[in-house]
């Protein structure tokens, strides 16, 4: 099982979208500043994820979620979360 996930930086209030096979380990890596792209935003909070059957499916979904349409989808899907001030 592969995962596509969305993290929110509690420090700089930006979000990061990625994919992984081991979601728990990947989030720990982000929060332990082991990822070049996210080390300045730690700590990170998992706010959304989707399970995918294969790496290819996860990568395709990640690519979509990073697109303009995908970002609109996420904002609509998470509108109640963002309405709380996150």
- Calculate the average pLDDT of the chain: 94
Tens-place pLDDT, residues 36-64 = 999 999 999 999 999 999 999 999 999 99
Two structure tokens written together for 30: 């982000």
The answer to whether 41 and 14 have CB atoms below 8 angstroms apart is: yes
Domain of residue 69, CATH code: 3.40.1440
- Is 86 a residue whose pLDDT tops 60? no
Mean pLDDT confidence for 15-31: 97
The reported pLDDT for the residue numbered 81 is: 76
Q: Provide the whole-model pTM.
A: 0.90
| Number of structural domains the chain divides into | 1
Domain extent, residue 56, equals 2-83
Helices (H), 1-86: 23-31, 55-66, 68-77, 79-83
């Amino acid at each position: 099982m592969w995962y596509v996930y969305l993290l929110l930086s509690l420090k700089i209030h930006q979000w990061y979208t990625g994919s992984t096979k081991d979601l728990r380990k990947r989030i720990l890596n982000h929060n332990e500043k082991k990822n070049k792209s996210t080390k300045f935003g730690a700590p990170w909070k998992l706010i959304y994820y989707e399970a995918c059957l294969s790496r290819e499916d996860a990568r395709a979904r990640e690519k979509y979620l990073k697109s303009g349409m995908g970002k609109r989808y996420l904002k609509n899907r998470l509108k109640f979360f963002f309405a709380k001030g996150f």
